[in-house]
Amino acid sequence: MTDIQPQIITDRLIIRPTNIDDYDDCCKLMGDADVMKYIGGEIVDPEHVWLKILHRKGHWDYFGYGCFTIRDKVTNEFYGEIGISHFKRPIAAPYSPQFVEASWTMAPSAQGKGIGKEALYGLVEWDEKHNITKSDWLAIIEPPNKRSSGLAQKVGFELVAENKKWNDITINLWVRKNPNKNKFESAAVAKL
């Protein structure tokens, strides 16, 4: 766990841990069939949105990182969520529970405006600057989701496995190497 200030500020955005004050916005986001089309394909009912928010808080408490809310720096408009988490999904290699999984979900008002890219770059910079995860990142993206695949590629993710199955959903696995990872491994070996 870390005591690093979990708030990221970019040119247009404030990115901070998701909390219960985000409930209504998260209900709208996760209740939108178009938004959820490539995230399992089903909307999330308000009860399960609430449970997801509580889960996100627990993840922050255990790991010192997790899911963030993306908001406009001036208007406070809700643009979606982005985060890095451990899900321990039952997916065959090259997936590994050792990976930190990156995820992002953009509200319709944020799509096509570079907000996802700005938020993801902010998250990557925060992780690398503060040595938060010390791990490579994995992103799970459904193949038809070209916009999300393009975003992953722009931020340095590489496609490592195609057409894997997870919960009857076809997914592609993308990995972004942590440039600091070898530094951490070398430091650990040096301490032995």
- Per-residue pLDDT of the chain (192 residues), as tens digits, is 455 558 999 999 999 999 999 999 999 999 999 999 999 899 999 999 999 999 999 999 999 999 999 999 999 999 999 999 988 887 777 777 778 999 999 999 999 999 999 999 999 999 988 888 888 999 999 999 999 999 999 999 999 999 888 888 899 999 999 877 655 443 433 343
Q: What is the pLDDT of residue 168?
A: 85
Phi-psi region of 131 (alpha: psi -120 to 50; beta: other; left: phi over 0): left
52 Cβ contact list (under 8 Å, min separation 6): 26, 30, 44
Q: Given this structure, which CATH class describes domain 8-191?
A: alpha beta
pTM of the model: 0.88
Instruction: Judge whether 123 and 104 are in contact, CB under 8 Å.
Output: no
